[in-house]
Amino acid sequence: MNRPHPVSQTELECLLQNTAIVLFMSNLNEFNETTLKNASWKLPEEFTNESSLTEITRALLPIITKKGKWSQFINIDTQVYLASQWIKNLNDKAKKDFFQTYRDYIGNELCDHSVELWEFLFEIDRSDFLKYCVVPQLKKFLEQLNFSTAKELILSYCKITEISSSYTIDESGYFTEVSASCSCAFEEDLINLLQLEYSWFNLGSSFSMDYIDATEFTSKKDGYLQLFAYIKNNCYKKSSEQYVLDMANEMQKSEFYKLIKAVGIEKQIVGEIKKLATKISELEAEIK
C-alpha cells in the first residue's frame, strides 16, 4: 500500500533517532508536534528537519503508536535504543561535545532510563563510549580526590559527593531502613556499568544492622554497636522515625572517624576507590 506522504528510509531513521534523543534528554515518553517543539532539550541546529512528525507516524505505525493527539514509541527499549543510535552516529567532535555537556545539563538529576542508554552504548559503541564518556568522566571525578592518605581520600570523597545517610529507627531503637544520597549519580551509573564492586556511593548502608548478624563481623560487634550509638545521637530528626546524618560533616570529627576505621569501613572504601582508579588506567590503555 502506498504511503500518502512518502519518506525515504534514511530520512525516517534520522527522524526517529532525532525524536528519541529529544524525548530521552527531556524525560518525555508521550509526544506530539508541540511537545517536541517546546522540549527542554533542543537538537543541535544541524539536525533540524522540515519533515512533519505526521509523516513518521503514518509511515511507521508498528514502531510509533498514536492515541488521540499523543504519540509514543511502541516500548521504552525501542525509544532508548534509537537515542543511543543518535549518539553513536555523531562524529568524534560532536560525540565528545555531547558527553562533556551532558553532565552539566543533567546536574544531579539523571534522565529517566539513563542506565538503559549506557548499556546500549556500551554494547554498540563501546570504544567511543569509553573514550568520550566513561574514562574522562570518571577520571575527572578521581582527580578531585586527595589520595595522600586514607583519611584525606575519604574526607575529599565525602566533600565532593555531598553524601548523607538516612535512617529509619523504630521504637526499640533499631535501624529498620538505611539509605544514602549523593550528588554524583551519573558517576555511580558509570561505575555500575563497569561491574565494579563498591559500597562507597551508598556509604550509609555500611552501617546496617545486618552487619551485626554477619559472621565475618562478629569480632567487630562492639565497634558497630558504638558506631550505631554515635549515629543515633548525632543524626538530626527529619520526621517522627527518620533521621539524617551529614556524612561529610561527621567524617571530619575524630570520634566518628575512629569508629568507622575500627570496624574496617575506612579500609573497605579506600580499597574500592583504588580499584576504580586501576580500572580506569586499564581502560585508558585499551582505547589508545
- Note the pLDDT of residue 215: 40
List Cα–Cα distances, 177 to 151, 188, 207, in angstroms.
27, 21, 10
pTM of the model: 0.81
Residues of the chain predicted below pLDDT 50: 1-5, 50, 211-217
- Note the pLDDT of residue 232: 79
Return phi, psi of residue 173, to 5°: 90, 15
- Note the pLDDT of residue 234: 85
- What pLDDT digit, counting tens, does each position of 129-146 carry? 999 999 999 999 999 999
| DSSP type of residue 31 | B
- Note the pLDDT of residue 125: 96
Task: Report the DSSP beta bridge partners of residue 237.
Answer: 243
- Note the pLDDT of residue 168: 78
Q: 276: exposed, middle or buried (C-beta count within 10 Å: 0-12, 13-18, 19+)?
A: buried
Domain boundaries, the chain: 9-124, 150-287
- Note the pLDDT of residue 211: 45
Q: 149: exposed, middle or buried (C-beta count within 10 Å: 0-12, 13-18, 19+)?
A: exposed
- Note the pLDDT of residue 212: 44
